[in-house]
Amino acid sequence: MDKFRIEGPNRLSGRVEVSGAKNTALPALAASLLSDHPLTLSGLPQVRDIATMTRLLEHLGVEATAQPGELALSAHSIPDQPEAPYELVKTMRASVLVLGPLLARRGYARVSLPGGCAIGVRPIDQHLLGLEAMGAEVELEHGYVTARTGGSGGSGGTGHPARLRGCRFRFASPTVTGTENLVMAATLAEGTTVLENCAREPEIVDLTELLEAMGARIEGAGSDRLEIEGVRELGPAAHRVIPDRIEAGTYLLAGVITRGDVLVAGARAPDLASLLEKLQEMGSDVRIESDGIRVIHSGAIRSRDVVTAPHPGFPTDLQAQYLAVMTQADGIATVCESVFENRFQHVPELGRMGARIEIDGSFARVFGPTGLSGAKVMATDLRASACLVLAALIAEGVTTVDRIYHLERGYERMESKLQSLGARVERVP
Ligand code: UD1
């Protein structure tokens, strides 16, 4: 297993290009299952989750052809009774995104219950309740979800599977992949589906644009109420995924923690409004430039409290990285994690580097500023890994971050991007 060896302290400066958004690319790939016709995606980040999803699609019968800068997908020959097995699903919770499209297309899907980051219970009850509201029968057995339309499963030999039915469904609380799953399922349902209390993340807006390009009829993108008028079939489309706001936010926070000057090219300010507001409150000079967002930080960092929340609130996927920055801020910062119940696994590791953080349920109190010192630390999940890398950038001496395969799930070429900003980081086997 590879590690990062980071020698600190570093000051980052320069320009770094943001990759395509992993969390848009995943549902976009799953959307290929909705149609017989080809879907061409560009801007896909080269990260492990994308490779995993592509493998899963290939297992489901999708032809995936890589061309320079794009991936062409064709799902014209998926089986009548498709199955997403545990071996492919276990490492990535987002695999559940194939459930809605398969069910809508084939009237049947059997999908292993997902694994993914160890950041809490993360049920999929809302996905399943929504599909049931659309007329699916759902069974949970042997670690698998089996969903079918019309009672019999698959096409029942007729060649025409029963369609899902349009319905009104209200999410108990906003869920990103839950919203994406139900929107995709609803595109091929009979009649109109109204989804309420939807998540509003930019990744969902991007997915609805892709689905519309395929011929879906969707109203309300970006709001918490989506209305989808089902169509019989979807057509060919080409789509470029949006830039990754979480990756962009991570490099902006890296700029701040190292008191550097970093331009994140391609970053879109509206997607990052809650973070940019915090950066300004912390005393950073934030500049929206023609090709991205630049942050310059010199002098003290002001501590600021944060509560994570569904978009447009502060993203839970930036909480760990933010917490690393707060170890360097003047005063006490309270960070409340309100989305996931077990997302402070980076805190004990930061403690090993000298940070002073107290945890009380969903609250972390960070006492700053503290000098950090290099140590051997272990990445526990994707964003926790990024937090440790940020801390290592300013720690005195050498930090080795173990288990960076977590990082590789969501950050493209992180070490070379950091090196290009002047960081002393190398990958060691
Ligand atoms: C997505 C993102 C992930 C991000 C998260 C929250 C992808 C591939 N992943 O994950 O990076 O951290 O949004 O912004 O886009 N919940 C239920 N029942 C459900 C579904 C969710 O109770 O059926 C709960 C979860 O346990 C969690 C909260 O809802 O507490 C939000 O989770 P959700 O938005 O579903 O996260 P994901 O879609 O898995």
The mean pLDDT of 98-108, rounded to a whole number, is 97
> What pLDDT score does 119 carry?
47
Q: Going by CA atoms, what residue is nearest to atom 25 of ligand 1?
A: 122
Q: For 333, phi and psi rounded to 5 degrees?
A: -115, 135
> What pLDDT score does 303 carry?
98
Residue range 237-258, pLDDT digits in tens: 999 999 999 999 999 999 999 9
Residue range 314-337, pLDDT digits in tens: 999 999 999 999 999 999 999 999
118 pLDDT tier (thresholds 50, 70, 90): low
Q: Going by CA atoms, what residue is nearest to atom 34 of ligand 1?
A: 175
> What pLDDT score does 153 carry?
47
Q: Is the pLDDT of residue 117 over 50?
A: no
> What pLDDT score does 158 carry?
55
Q: In testing the pocket of ligand 1, which one of 92, 175, 275, 385 has its CB within 8 Å of the most ligand atoms?
A: 175
pTM of the model: 0.96
> What pLDDT score does 127 carry?
96
The mean pLDDT of 260-278, rounded to a whole number, is 98
Is 336 annotated in the active site? Answer: no
> What pLDDT score does 368 carry?
93
152 pLDDT tier (thresholds 50, 70, 90): very low
> What pLDDT score does 159 carry?
58
Distance 124 CA to ligand 1 centre (A): 9
- The CB of 327 under 6 Å from ligand 1? The reply is no
Q: In testing the pocket of ligand 1, which one of 113, 339, 362, 383 has its CB within 8 Å of the most ligand atoms?
A: 339
Q: Is the pLDDT of residue 46 over 90?
A: yes
> What pLDDT score does 247 carry?
98
Q: Is the pLDDT of residue 419 over 70?
A: yes
Residue range 348-398, pLDDT digits in tens: 999 999 999 999 999 999 999 999 999 999 988 999 999 999 999 999 999
Q: Is the pLDDT of residue 113 over 90?
A: no
**Does 341 or 253 have the greater pLDDT score?**
253
